[in-house]
């Protein structure tokens, strides 16, 4: 496995409004530092390479990319959305700082760098995350949808089916929306039920895709407190779907906020459970690109990553 590393250490949002209260924004570089230390010791790491901007536009229209750039460059500290529909930001957890655009662009570079590696298993360790960003809306700390950009990039080059498995605690509403009508990019997500958890508006079981994409979107909402025994049943169902689709590549939207000690997620997965997740994914024998999404506890992030990637050590 090779690791593309781009943590954008200069990008440190500070604010979030949670239930009417200003709280600390947890999407900060230090959350992933322990993973960085671990992967640097264990795998070959590669810096992100710059690419032309055009592959972003397969997902996000030009005006939206320019819009993110413009909010970034016109704030001198931290901008909280005023009118969500006008600012094209879903929620108050997504402030924009003067370097938001630069960081999101670097995450895009990391994504294409990873997509271009000739390696069976690739891990893109980057931030800000992407799965809550839809084609023309930011949200949930996400501006550009890294996983979607990779999926579309590969699909347009190879003309083959791609699967995205989203195992962040939160439903990837952005990724789902982007590919809802697309039969060639299959989205599967296991997450905390939107009846109780962010992003509230999507991630329900009934959302199965539309038009040509009918039957290519799979949601597995689970209750808070889900442990490995319960999670495993659903994880196996997700793997069965992937086997049936038999994609050219699997993209894993990887959040470690499913860990019992994560402050944002509400599942009860433990360190060793991630070892099973890794082994089961490897057993698919399909090339995988892991791309980092959430995970907000340094200690559990490190343990989860160590366990999950244990089995990818020799390749
Ligand atoms: C991003 B990722 C709770 C505030 C929720 C947004 C959470 C975004 C999670 N009231 N803030 O999927 O880990
Ligand atoms: Zn999450």
Considering its fold, how many domains does the chain have in total? 1
Among candidate residues 60, 67, 131, 132, the one labeled active-site is 132
Burial zone of 203 (CB within 10 Å; 0-12 exposed, 13-18 middle, 19+ buried): buried
| 8 A C-beta contact, residue 86 and residue 95 | no
- Whether the full predicted model's pTM is greater than 0.90, yes or no, is yes
With a cut of 70, list the residues of the chain below it in pLDDT.
Answer: 314-315
**ipTM of this predicted complex?**
0.96
Q: Please, what is the Cα angle at 151 between 312 and 300, to 5 degrees? A: 45
The pLDDT score that the predictor gives to residue 121 is 98
Q: How far is the CA of 255 from the centre of ligand 1 (A)?
A: 11
The pLDDT score that the predictor gives to residue 315 is 56
Which H or E run contains 80? none
CB of 198 sitting under 6 A from ligand 1: yes
| 8 A C-beta contact, residue 1 and residue 43 | yes
Report CA Rg, the chain: 18
| 8 A C-beta contact, residue 195 and residue 135 | no
Residue 275, Cα to own-chain centre: how many angstroms? 20
Q: What span, in angstroms and rounded, lies between the C-alpha atoms of 302 and 202?
A: 29
Query: Is position 276 annotated as part of the catalytic site?
Result: no
The pLDDT score that the predictor gives to residue 313 is 83
CATH code at position 129:
3.40.800.20
**What's the DSSP call for residue 211?**
G
CB of 168 sitting under 6 A from ligand 1: yes
**Alpha carbon nearest to ligand 1 atom 10, residue:** 18
Q: Which atom of ligand 1 is nearest to the CA of 295?
A: 13
Domain range holding 83? Answer: 2-312
Strands 44-47 and 2-6: parallel
CB of 19 sitting under 6 A from ligand 1: yes
| 8 A C-beta contact, residue 207 and residue 181 | no
| 8 A C-beta contact, residue 281 and residue 120 | no
Q: What span, in angstroms and rounded, lies between the C-alpha atoms of 13 and 94?
A: 9
The pLDDT score that the predictor gives to residue 19 is 86
C-beta neighbour count of 2 within 10 angstroms: 19
Q: What span, in angstroms and rounded, lies between the C-alpha atoms of 239 and 244?
A: 9
| 8 A C-beta contact, residue 175 and residue 145 | yes
Q: At what angle do helices 100-115 and 146-158 cross, to 10 degrees?
A: 40
Identify which ligand lies nearest to the alpha carbon of 265.
Answer: 2
19, 192, 194, 264, best to mutate for ligand 1 pocket (most atoms within 8 Å of CB)? 264
| 8 A C-beta contact, residue 188 and residue 165 | yes
Tokens 């025994």 belong to 229
The pLDDT score that the predictor gives to residue 179 is 98
Strand partners, 42: none
């Amino acid at each position: 496995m090779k690791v593309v590393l781009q943590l954008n250490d200069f990008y440190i949002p500070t604010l979030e409004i949670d239930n009417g209260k200003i709280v600390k924004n947890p999407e900060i570089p230090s959350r992933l530092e322990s993973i960085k230390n671990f992967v640097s010791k264990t795998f070959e790491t590669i810096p992100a390479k710059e690419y032309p901007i055009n592959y972003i536009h397969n997902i996000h229209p030009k005006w939206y990319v320019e819009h993110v750039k413009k909010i970034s460059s016109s704030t001198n500290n931290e901008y909280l959305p005023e009118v969500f529909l006008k600012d094209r930001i879903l929620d108050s957890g997504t402030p924009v700082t003067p370097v938001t655009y630069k960081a999101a662009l670097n995450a895009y570079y990391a994504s294409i760098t990873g997509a271009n590696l000739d390696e069976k298993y690739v891990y893109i360790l980057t931030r800000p995350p992407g799965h809550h960003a839809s084609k023309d809306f930011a949200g949930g700390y996400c501006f550009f949808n890294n996983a979607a950009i990779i999926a579309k990039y590969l699909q347009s080059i190879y003309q083959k089916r791609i699967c995205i498995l989203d195992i962040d605690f939160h439903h990837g509403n952005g990724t789902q929306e982007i590919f809802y009508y697309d039969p060639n990019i299959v989205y599967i997500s296991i997450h905390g039920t939107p009846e109780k958890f962010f992003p509230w508006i999507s991630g329900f079981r009934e959302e199965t895709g539309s038009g040509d994409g009918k039957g290519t979107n799979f949601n597995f909402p689970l209750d808070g407190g889900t442990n490995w025994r319960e999670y495993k049943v659903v994880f196996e169902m997700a793997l069965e779907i992937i086997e049936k689709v038999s994609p050219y590549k699997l993209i894993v939207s990887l959040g470690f906020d499913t860990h019992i000690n994560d402050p944002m997620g509400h599942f009860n997965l433990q360190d060793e459970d991630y070892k099973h997740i890794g082994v089961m994914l490897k057993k698919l024998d399909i090339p995988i690109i892991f791309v980092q999404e959430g995970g907000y506890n340094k200690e559990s992030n490190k343990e989860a990553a160590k366990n999950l990637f244990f089995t990818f050590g020799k390749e």
